[in-house]
């Protein structure tokens, strides 16, 4: 029996129209363009401002573009997975809402939570589902409406995050040496004090007190998170490169989680790679959490060539971290934005 591999066969993406740039942000909180660019490298971020629209809206837009670009028959989709930290509701799953809006008749859907590592973890799970032979086509969506959990009175975090979504179609193939080749994931488990939302869960349910004390916003101890992110993303990328015989000469692309430009540069330096080989779009989108890596692929799709060696790496709340080795499966096409 031939080995089944899982390959990405298309990408769709969506970012909201509204652009919140540093100049406007500086009128909301005590900050400025130079301070933000020097520390994190973000000039603007997209914000979903329309009332009543959440993460599922962006996820659906990205998936719809994906379906149109690839020409895949929606009735042949086996599963749809949304990875997000900003679900529309506690229940039902955001994925079920997206599936319903898309009218997928023969698929099941579920959400996957792994913070900013969500896309990497979900891609690996979906690849395993395909490699076992039970499923042939799975849509994986990374989507987050980070503006829904950001305190725009907190200068240390409000400049970092934006909203967006991107979707990939993962398909089965018997072609060898292609697709999702290898992954390395770990969870530290000690990250809770440094990056979390204090209220809204079962430990501290919503109340007048939690609302009055602004406990429903993202909390982050930036220095600690930065240090862990640099170390783990660099170490994980080096490990996945070494065990797959990858080096500065045969790595075509590194696609890092877009959290901080200094983290991205540190990972590139550790791999001894020029920045020309690193996908970067943080300047325009900020940190869109689970959407950053697929959005970077979407932005750069036309540059990609079949057989390109890619290392994807991310770090997020938990602390969760890891890296994947992906061998690209098709020559790039225009992103279709």
Provide the H-helix boundaries in the chain. 22-26, 33-39, 55-70, 94-102, 118-131, 208-212, 222-242, 261-270, 282-285, 292-299
Q: Catalytic pick from 5, 287, 309, 321?
A: 287
257 in active site: yes
Q: Catalytic pick from 257, 260, 309, 321?
A: 257
Q: Do 328 and 297 form a contact (C-beta atoms < 8 A)?
A: no
Task: Report the distance separating Cα 83 and Cα 94, nearest Å.
Answer: 9
Which residue in 3, 22, 13, 7 sits closest to 336, CA to CA? Answer: 13
32 in active site: no
Q: Catalytic pick from 22, 116, 284, 321?
A: 116
- Peptide bond just before 129 cis, omega within 30 deg: no
Task: Report the distance separating Cα 95 and Cα 86, nearest Å.
Answer: 12
* Residues ≥6 apart with Cβ < 8 Å to 122: 81, 83, 112, 114, 140, 142, 290
The pair of three-digit structure tokens given for residue 175, joined into one six-digit string? 């072609």
216 in active site: no
Q: What is the DSSP string of 204-233?
A: S---HHHHHTT-SSEEE-HHHHHHHHHHHH
Q: Do 336 and 12 form a contact (C-beta atoms < 8 A)?
A: yes
Task: Report the distance separating Cα 314 and Cα 320, nearest Å.
Answer: 8
H and E: helices and strands count for the chain: 10, 13
Q: Do 285 and 15 form a contact (C-beta atoms < 8 A)?
A: yes
Task: Report the distance separating Cα 200 and Cα 106, nearest Å.
Answer: 34
Alpha carbon distance, N-terminus to C-terminus of the chain: 40
Q: Do 107 and 167 form a contact (C-beta atoms < 8 A)?
A: no
- Which of the residues are catalytic? 116, 257, 287
């Amino acid at each position: 029996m031939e080995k089944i591999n899982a390959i990405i066969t298309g990408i769709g993406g969506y970012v909201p129209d509204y652009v919140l740039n540093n100049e406007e942000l500086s009128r909301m909180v005590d900050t400025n363009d130079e301070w933000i660019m020097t520390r994190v490298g973000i000039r603007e971020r997209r914000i979903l401002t329309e009332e009543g629209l959440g993460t599922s809206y962006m996820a659906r837009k990205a998936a719809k573009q994906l379906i149109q670009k690839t020409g895949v028959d929606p009735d042949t989709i086996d599963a749809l997975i949304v990875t997000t930290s900003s679900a529309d509701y506690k229940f039902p799953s955001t994925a079920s809402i997206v599936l319903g809006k898309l009218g997928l008749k023969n698929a099941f859907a579920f959400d996957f939570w792994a913070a900013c590592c969500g896309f990497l973890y979900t891609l690996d799970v979906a690849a395993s589902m395909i490699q076992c032979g039970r499923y042939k086509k799975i849509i994986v969506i990374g989507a987050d409406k980070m503006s829904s959990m950001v305190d725009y009175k907190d200068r240390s975090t409000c400049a970092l995050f934006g909203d967006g979504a991107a979707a990939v179609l993962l398909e089965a193939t018997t072609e060898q040496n292609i697709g999702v080749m290898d992954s390395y994931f770990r969870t530290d488990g000690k990250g809770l004090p440094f990056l979390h939302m204090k209220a809204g869960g079962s430990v501290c349910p919503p109340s007048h007190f939690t609302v009055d004390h602004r406990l429903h916003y993202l909390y982050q101890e930036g220095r600690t998170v930065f240090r862990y992110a640099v170390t783990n993303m660099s170490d994980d990328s080096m490990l996945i490169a070494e065990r797959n015989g990858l080096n500065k000469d045969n790595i075509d692309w590194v696609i890092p989680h877009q959290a901080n430009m200094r983290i991205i540069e540190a990972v590139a330096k550790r791999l001894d790679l020029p920045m020309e080989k690193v996908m970067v779009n943080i300047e325009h989108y900020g940190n869109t959490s689970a959407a950053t890596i697929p959005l970077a692929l979407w932005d750069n799709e036309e540059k990609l060539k079949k057989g390109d060696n890619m290392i994807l790496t991310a770090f997020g709340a938990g602390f969760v971290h890891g890296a994947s080795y992906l061998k690209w499966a098709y020559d790039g096409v225009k992103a279709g934005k």
